[in-house]
């Protein structure tokens, strides 16, 4: 698998968005995904163990994130702060109000790559790319303070980010976000220790060699965020959502039948193995 750094994971996920877009019954349309992924993205997926079979999880995540973001905008968010935005093209493809402010934040390499490839394409709202290293606490806090000062209600998005951070890093990020009064909602994806172990066995060696090891999977789940000022208001199990969207993993029917043999607490453990969550400031 040709992942050289954490930004390459954005190319990997863009391939999955392209695959979904090209289906006749696509859940969403991202006409830019194939261009953004490029041949490098295709190489990554071809080199992955079960690369194409795992598309269902990222496709489900994309659709559920779309839905949560659009609900936040309908509920009054005037700014979307997209952290580690990667090759996300939502500012171009979602049906967004023209007055909405969309801020993409990422490292300059991947952000400049995206804006160059999409040069000349029209965004649906006011778009602002900002090259900021989110591991630089001072730069991060300055960014949050400025965005918060210029906005009334902000929905923060961190799709595919937290799993690459340590517990202390996520706690610091949560504290810094909560310090800004206009930051009302935070959309995240969350892995359990069980899923982290599975992903590490499957892809961990390669991602670790690219300095992108899988790290964050709190045993406490969303309760991890409570001391840092955030509470769960929506919890979407990836397995439940994949079934709703008719994008389940291969063999899911057999897996569900097999799981009925287990007690309810075990079933709930698997249901919460991977999730898409809307947090709200306390």
Q: What is the CATH number of the domain that holds 274?
A: 3.40.50.150
Instruction: Please tell me the predicted confidence (pLDDT) of residue 3.
Output: 65
Q: Which of 134, 120, 123 is nearest to 101 (CA)?
A: 123
Instruction: Please tell me the predicted confidence (pLDDT) of residue 48.
Output: 74
Domain for residue 194, yes or no? yes
Instruction: Please tell me the predicted confidence (pLDDT) of residue 252.
Output: 72
Spell out, as residue ranges, where the chain has pLDDT lower than 50.
Answer: none
Instruction: Please tell me the predicted confidence (pLDDT) of residue 231.
Output: 98
Domain for residue 3, yes or no? no
Domain for residue 113, yes or no? yes
- pTM greater than the 0.85 cutoff: yes
Residue-range definition of the domain harbouring residue 45: 8-281
Domain for residue 1, yes or no? no
Domain for residue 241, yes or no? yes
- Number of structural domains (the chain) is 1
Instruction: Please tell me the predicted confidence (pLDDT) of residue 81.
Output: 99
Domain for residue 2, yes or no? no
């Amino acid at each position: 698998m040709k992942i050289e750094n954490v930004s390459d994971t954005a190319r990997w996920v863009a391939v999955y968005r392209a695959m979904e877009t090209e289906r006749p019954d696509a859940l969403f349309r991202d006409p830019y995904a194939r261009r953004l992924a490029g041949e490098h993205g295709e190489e990554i997926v071809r080199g992955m163990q079960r690369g194409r079979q795992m598309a269902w999880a990222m496709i489900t995540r994309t659709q559920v994130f779309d839905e949560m973001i659009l609900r936040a905008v309908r509920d009054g968010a005037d700014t979307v702060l997209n952290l580690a935005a990667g090759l996300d093209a939502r500012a171009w493809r979602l049906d967004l109000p023209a007055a909405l402010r969309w801020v993409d934040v990422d490292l300059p390499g991947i952000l400049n790559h995206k804006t160059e490839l999409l040069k000349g394409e029209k965004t649906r709202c006011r778009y602002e790319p900002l090259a900021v290293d989110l591991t630089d606490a001072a730069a991060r806090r300055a960014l949050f303070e400025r965005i918060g000062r210029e906005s009334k209600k902000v929905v923060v998005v961190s799709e595919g980010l937290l799993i690459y951070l340590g517990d202390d890093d996520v706690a610091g990020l949560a504290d810094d976000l909560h310090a800004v009064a206009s930051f009302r909602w935070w959309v995240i994806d969350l892995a359990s220790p069980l899923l982290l172990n599975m992903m590490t066995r499957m892809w961990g060696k390669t991602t670790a060699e690219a300095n992108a090891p899988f790290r964050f999977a709190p045993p406490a789940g969303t309760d991890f965020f409570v001391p840092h000022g955030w509470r769960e208001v929506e919890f979407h199990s990836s397995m439940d959502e994949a079934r709703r969207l008719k994008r389940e993993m291969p063999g899911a029917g057999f897996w569900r039948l097999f799981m009925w043999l287990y007690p309810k607490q075990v079933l709930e453990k698997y249901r919460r193995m991977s999730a898409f969550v809307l947090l709200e400031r306390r």
